[in-house]
Structure 1
Amino acid sequence: MNTRNTFKIVALSVVLLLASCGLNEIDNYEGPNASIYGAIYDAETKELIQQDIVRGAQIEYVEHGYANPQTQYMVIKNDGTYQNKLMFANTYTIRAVRGNFVPSASQEIKVSGNTTHNFEVIPYVRIKNPNISQQGNKIIATFDLDKTVDNSLQRIGLFAHSEINVGEPLHKVSAQQTINGPVDEGNTYHLEIDLTQHSTNLMKGKSYYFRIGALMNASEAKFNYAPALRITIQ
């Protein structure tokens, strides 16, 4: 064996040894050892604040102890709850952002084991006395609105889908009305879906979820909702 071939073999052995050591180091890192769960609550009524899981509010969090930490995100479920089982025990800066509520300050929390952390915020608008029912060939929705901010009311909507996650970003059929004016707290709002016009998407004998929403004119605001209601089309 000549000198050149011997050098190649030695060099390859060194590379493989270093790679093996590197892999062993990576494999020895500990995995996630904590979890966090909680919900987004109305600070005044203590009710869960319904959300969209598609393009909806998020929880952003930054883990302490790193020179250039990355901001990470958690999705909030349809009912306003959230959970992340892949956390590391540590201190975090955490905040609920880009939602259907007045922005709030960041908080520092310690996550260890199974940690519960709830957010109390003020929704932009509350949907009161929601009622959805089939009346003849129409789905009729009535509701009142309780504003919490002075912003104008941009739009209201009744959304229908086969999934419970129904909302403005996820619907087969909707009835929406542009308002662009003040919330009238003395008014009962009315929306309807004509089933005869949507017989291919809302078929007789099948069940669908219907959800009332209202969108305020605020930066990055999302729809505020009442809980989805399941109705079997007659």
Structure 2
Amino acid sequence: MKKIGIIALLFASMSLVSCDLFEMDNYESPSETIHGAVVDAETGDSIRTDQGSEGIRVRLTQLNYSENASHNPDFYCMMNGSFQNTKVFEGIYNVRVDGPFIPLVRESKDGVPLANETKDVKIKGKTEVIFKVRPFLRVEFVGYPTVSNGQITAKVKVTRGISRDEFKSYIEPMGNYDESYPNVTDIQLFVSYSSSVGYRARDDRWSNSIEYSGDSFEPLLGTPVTIRSTKGQVIPSGRHVFVRAAARINYDTPMGSGTRRWNYSEPMEVMIP
């Protein structure tokens, strides 16, 4: 009889555990949507970016469970500066974006808050959030790229979205300011068969860059700069490729992350005759 009792208890325990597991497995999966865009506060244009960890990062932190809540997994904007996440639990969230623009969150080196331009929103159904930011640079093609003997030649114009003095006024109070931060360090010409062309979707055979040391790019601001696809690497005749130009400054966002993010032009499709 003792054995029968023990066996009955074991079965009862297993039954309870099974029920608990069944209940855990039947939680509803997240289905709310947050979507929006990151735009230039001055022009209203989208802040074009890369698709991946070098692009504009979106971070959600749910606030209605704990004041010390950890953030959700980060996700990234699409190349046109828009973003969407369709798998979010309903709740109140802090929404933050980090990219090639003046940081929304700024603190002194002692941790004293200087500015917080993030947004607290209630996500329920489909919720839109728009961020208006100050981009470091604006990048555009001048005219249409040309092709000769399988090599692309493009003219790229880079201007500042914020002056050196304005940049300094925002960043210097955060501490450890370096006068080299606003220097333009490189211009990129990314070439790819993919319409998502960028650092993450580039063909190394044809993509090319021009590097600049110190403040040597300063006289070239606002002036068309000629950049070509890689010399000696012929793009096959009859193909369609996509190109985008990009430029960046000597400043990482978020500060201390080591990631210097590019500001991008719109993509262009180029036919190789």
Q: TM-score, normalised by structure 2?
A: 0.77
Instruction: Report the counterpart of residue 40 of structure 2 in structure 1.
Output: 42
Which structure is higher in strand share? 1
| 8 A Cα contact 1:48 1:79, kept in partner | yes
Inter-partner Cα distance in structure 1 for 2:25 and 2:199: 44
Q: How many residues are treated as equivalent by the alignment?
A: 228
More off after superposition, 69-78 vs 116-125: 69-78
1:51 corresponds, among 49, 61, 73, to: 49
Q: 1:79–1:186: structure 2 CA closer, same or farther, 3 Å change rule? A: closer
Q: Report the residue type matching 1:60 in the other structure.
A: R
Q: 1:159–1:128: structure 2 CA closer, same or farther, 3 Å change rule? A: closer
RMSD: 2.0
Structure 1 residue runs of 4 or more that deviate by more than 3 Å after TM superposition: 128-132
| 8 A Cα contact 1:60 1:95, kept in partner | yes
Instruction: Report the counterpart of residue 176 of structure 2 in structure 1.
Output: none
1:20 aligns with 2:25: no
Q: Report the residue type matching 1:203 in the other structure.
A: P
Structural mapping, 1:115-134, within 5 Å: 115-134=127-146
Instruction: Report the counterpart of residue 79 of structure 1 in structure 2.
Output: 80
Q: 1:190–1:126: structure 2 CA closer, same or farther, 3 Å change rule? A: same
| 8 A Cα contact 2:145 2:152, kept in partner | yes
Q: 1:107–1:186: structure 2 CA closer, same or farther, 3 Å change rule? A: closer
Structural mapping, 1:96-175, within 5 Å: 96-97=97-98, 99-104=99-104, 105-137=117-149, 138-147=151-160, 148-150=162-164, 151-172=182-203, 173-175=206-208
Question: Per the alignment, in what secondary structure is the counterpart of residue 142 of structure 2?
Answer: strand
Instruction: Report the counterpart of residue 188 of structure 1 in structure 2.
Output: 224
Instruction: Report the counterpart of residue 65 of structure 1 in structure 2.
Output: 64
Inter-partner Cα distance in structure 1 for 2:86 and 2:210: 40
CA displacement at 1:3 relative to structure 2: 3.5
Inter-partner Cα distance in structure 1 for 2:26 and 2:39: 40
Q: Report the residue type matching 1:192 in the other structure.
A: R
CA displacement at 1:27 relative to structure 2: 3.9
Q: TM-score, normalised by structure 1?
A: 0.88
Q: 1:11–1:233: structure 2 CA closer, same or farther, 3 Å change rule? A: farther
Inter-partner Cα distance in structure 1 for 2:140 and 2:197: 19
Q: 1:22–1:111: structure 2 CA closer, same or farther, 3 Å change rule? A: same
Deviation digits for residues 114-171 of structure 1 (CA, Å, limit 9, x no counterpart): 1111111111100145334223223111122111242000100111011122112331
| 8 A Cα contact 2:246 2:264, kept in partner | yes
Question: Per the alignment, in what secondary structure is the counterpart of residue 83 of structure 2?
Answer: strand
More off after superposition, 88-97 vs 26-35: 26-35
CA displacement at 1:28 relative to structure 2: 4.3
Question: Per the alignment, in what secondary structure is the counterpart of residue 29 of structure 1?
Answer: coil
Structure 2 unaligned segments of length 5 or more: list them.
105-116, 165-181, 254-259
